[in-house]
Structure 1
Amino acid sequence: MTAAPVQPAPVPTTPVPVRGSALRRSASAAAAGLGHAAVPVLIALTLGAVVLAATGNDPLAIYARLLEEAFGTPSRWDATLAAATPLLFTAVAAAFAYRAGVFTVGVEGSFLIGGLTAAVIGAHMGSVPAPLAALLPLAGALVAGVLVAAVPAVLRAVWSVDEVVTTLMFNFIAAGLAAWSVQAFFQERGQANSATAYVTENAELAALAPPGQVNWGLVLGLALLAAYALFMRRTALGFEFRAVGAAPRFAVAQGLRTRTVVLVALLGAGLIGGLGGGAHALGIVHRYTGGFSASFGFTGIAIALIARFSPVGIALGALLFGALSAAGATVQLFIDLPVQLIDILQGTVMVFAVAQFAVPRFLRRRREPTGAAA
């Protein structure tokens, strides 16, 4: 009797995921993120147009002029990128903490003390070789930024003290300490305002395209942005950051290192903010003076929220706010533009960026069943 032929095993019909589909999902997520980011910007432009029209101005003409003054020529691109550089640091600092669900507002304080430290060290680098003369002030700025964030970090990680309050208060402490230190110890003779001595030439961050203002600080900021992206996506601690930020109760239940995550998040934000202040001191201002920061730390918060912590979104947000700053400073030379318009646009973007981020989280919490919080 002839044996029945063996039938081949059925071939699975379920398609195997390929790299292309993953790339398409990433592209879709990026497009959705950019769509969310565009909402507060469009609202701000609309309200700005209403204000301009109510004051007898042509909104389209003024917006076209702003665009030209931000990107119209290589020199305007240089001004925009220079204005965006400190915002790149502060936005990465804010996003680094916020990914862990830690809502610090203390980047401004770290930026100020980091800038002062770099300026003071950089003024005494005359006999130090050029690469080291810039690295030492930047290292000092790193340490200073971490020290500003250390007390709020410990209070939050160990005793669960609200970091919004402590970091906000430390901004005032840092600003007062910086102003007092300059006047008491580091005031440059012959200066009418509170200012340190200029950093030595070999300590400056060199311009990328002299005589423009864009310098190696921009390269450092972009490298930091890439490191942030890799940390969040490719490291175990980065995974814990995202897990704690997305579902803190679940993270605790799963035994994740929530206290370590909170501590690293706040100290890391301070470190990045301090480095940004150091780069600003060595690359743009070349010393520390009154008005050293144009609220860069607070603007960085808005950028991080607009971008929803996306590296690409952070880069675009920093470019947007840098363009508004650079164009607003020069466009009044050509048209009768109210100086407050730029503040209105930036403030409106900030308000709706925060609202767009916070309101859905609030509604989700309201919809949670009562027993879920137990």
Structure 2
Amino acid sequence: MDFLLEGITSITWQQAVMYLVGIALIWLAVKKKYEPALLLPMGFGAILVNLPMSGVINQVLSGVGETNGIIQWLFEVGIEASEALPILLFIGIGAMIDFGPLLQKPVMFFFGAAAQFGIFFALSAACLMGFPLQDAASIGIIGAADGPTSILVSQILHSNYIGPIAVAAYSYMALVPIVQPFAIKLVTTKKERQITMDYQPNSVSKSMRIVFPIAVTFIVGLLAPSAVALVGFLMFGNLLRECGVLGNLSETAQTTLANLITLLLGITISFSMRANAFVNVNTLMIMGIGLLAFVFDTIGGVLFAKFINLFLKKKINPMIGAAGISAFPMSSRVVQKLAMEEKPGNVLIMQAAGANVSGQIASVIAGGLVVSLVTQFL
């Protein structure tokens, strides 16, 4: 009878906390529909890896001997050894993205670059709080507003906080509809938020759409080699979409591949959510820094747009700058919703989409640059 109670009596308070964290993530996924494809497997995985004598991680169990856990194996093979899962996901992401709005107005790329300010703010804040440089840089990448990039950078830099970083990145991505309106209103006036913008669509040739992912890969590969795996797979997925001769592969990348990798990545990253590594003061600090990173991403993009307005006769709506974060397409939808609330009939969705897709590229490049800079100092 004792062996039946052994599991229950072995539960620590830290593991109990992780059960609540897992349930909270599942609740957010199911009830609130916040990033369900990611938060649900992460939440369920957090419960699995914290069950006493669980067979999903490597442990020595009485009467059984050493077990080889499937989640730990997936983590070691798919993330730790090769970073394969987050990189492969970029093929699916690239196949989903239409860079047309950005190609019509290439100036939108500057909004994506400006909205990465949160990365460097968070990195600086983490350093001031006493985190080692490789951990501070990994925490800073939460400001990229891109979950796979956050996971990949923290793994490459061998951060001790992959779990909290992943949870912070994906949680705040899901909370973009709550975080961004607050940040936008902090630095804009109602009059600025009511600015209308004419949209004059320009046709983007098929040749341009094909050349773009190839050219971006060349440029990034030569200027920021550390980012070429991320950008290259993102651009390869986009090339599948735009080439026009691989429709089935493009559709597979957007649906089957993206869904499968997302599912595996979500439950695999839960290996780093074990109670002994997750439940501590540093986790709370990382969650706080991550929130500030998203807020300052938004503020950075908006302030850049306001700066540009100083030189323009026909003003742009500064909320467009907020869409420069990588949370695609949530951020552009948030900007459009806020524009309609401030002035019914004000359509900004295409301009916001241009800034939003530029943020996807900018965040990946920023991740590669941070890795390159940090490795120079270590």
TM range (shorter): under 0.3
TM-score (norm 1): 0.24
TM-score (norm 2): 0.24
Structure number with larger C-alpha Rg? 1
Higher RCO, 1 or 2 (CA under 8 Å, sep at least 6)? Answer: 1
